[in-house]
Amino acid sequence: MAVWFRDYNLAEINRLSQGTMLEHLEIEFTEIGADSLTARMPVDHRTHQPAGVLHGGASAALAESLGSVAANLCVDPNRKYCVGMELNINHLRPVKKGWVIGTTTPLHLGRMTQVWEIKIYTEDRKLVAVSRITLAVLDKQ
């Protein structure tokens, strides 16, 4: 059974990125499963640190984006919205070029909080980072 509030398609999910940091970093949602959301991000001049490898903050931006968007797809957008409360990330492998792919799955979908796990891989499935985000589920006023 899907965790989403309703059926979503990738085009409408990607439209959420317009005019945001996600668009600037070229984060693109590529797959939605029954309980997972996947996106990719280029490793290039926008996401490098001075040493020429993927910046940890860029990985964190990918992780937070995945968890936040997924959380918001689980609630009635007319009544609720989700915002990040805490993000942690462990950086495991440097990446110099190509794409990183992140997938998020829920650990807890509560009435007032959600917790999502995010795993980020290289294109050849080498684990780059693991992350967890906790989000507050808030009422729209």
* Catalytic machinery residues: 64
What is the token pair recorded at 73? 């797809």
- Residue 29, burial from CB neighbour count under 10 angstroms (0-12, 13-18, 19+): buried
Integer angstrom CA distances of residue 20 from 1, 79, 108, 130? 31, 23, 27, 23
